[in-house]
Amino acid sequence: MGSVRHGFTAYDYLFKQINMFIKLYLIALPVLVAMDMLWLGIVAKNFYRQQIGFLMKPDVNWPAVIVFYLLFIAGLVLFVITPSMEKHSWVHALLFGALFGLIAYATYDLTNLATMKNWPLIVTIVDLIWGAVIAASVSVITYFIATKI
């Protein structure tokens, strides 16, 4: 009975964690996609075209987009949403989601600002704000949906 304590094993814990990850992932992914498509396709479409249209491809590289979304959500679930669920804190989801989004988007935008000729500062500022807003929003929405189902 050494590894079994009151019927609970390490495998049970792992199974529970994997199930929680999948549940949170499947909630967060469509929320992120819907919000980002609204942002990129409607709200900020003209802004990006005006600011960096000279850099934009005529066709979106969808495999790259999909990989970004899959990785971004994995990070949000692992580093923000799961800890928020464990702490029973939507405020944790809000604050750490915003920080995660800010850092993730800063990686791209500050690198572009540092290395690309004529990269507009305003794009970096808008993207950093958007990164914080979308990650915080997805984290909080996922938290509330997950606590209700």
Q: From the CB of residue 27, how many other CB atoms can be counted at a distance below 10 Å?
A: 20
> Which residues does residue 8 pair with via DSSP β-bridges, in sequence order?
5
pLDDT at position 1, please? 45
As a whole number of angstroms, the longest Cα–Cα distance in the chain is: 67
pLDDT at position 3, please? 52
| CA pair distance 141, 149, nearest whole angstrom | 13
Q: From the CB of residue 119, how many other CB atoms can be counted at a distance below 10 Å?
A: 17
Please, are residues 126 and 47 in contact by the beta-carbon 8 Å criterion?
A: yes
* Phi and psi, residue 5, nearest 5°: -130, 110
pTM: 0.90
Please, are residues 36 and 85 in contact by the beta-carbon 8 Å criterion?
A: no
Please, are residues 109 and 123 in contact by the beta-carbon 8 Å criterion?
A: yes
Please, are residues 31 and 141 in contact by the beta-carbon 8 Å criterion?
A: yes
138 burial type by CB count under 10 A (0-12 exposed, 13-18 middle, 19+ buried) = buried
> Which residues does residue 5 pair with via DSSP β-bridges, in sequence order?
8
36 burial type by CB count under 10 A (0-12 exposed, 13-18 middle, 19+ buried) = middle
Per-residue pLDDT in tens (0 to 9) along the chain, 149 residues: 445 556 678 888 889 999 999 999 999 999 999 999 999 999 999 999 999 999 999 999 999 999 999 999 999 999 999 999 999 999 999 999 999 999 999 999 999 999 999 999 999 999 999 999 999 999 999 999 999 98
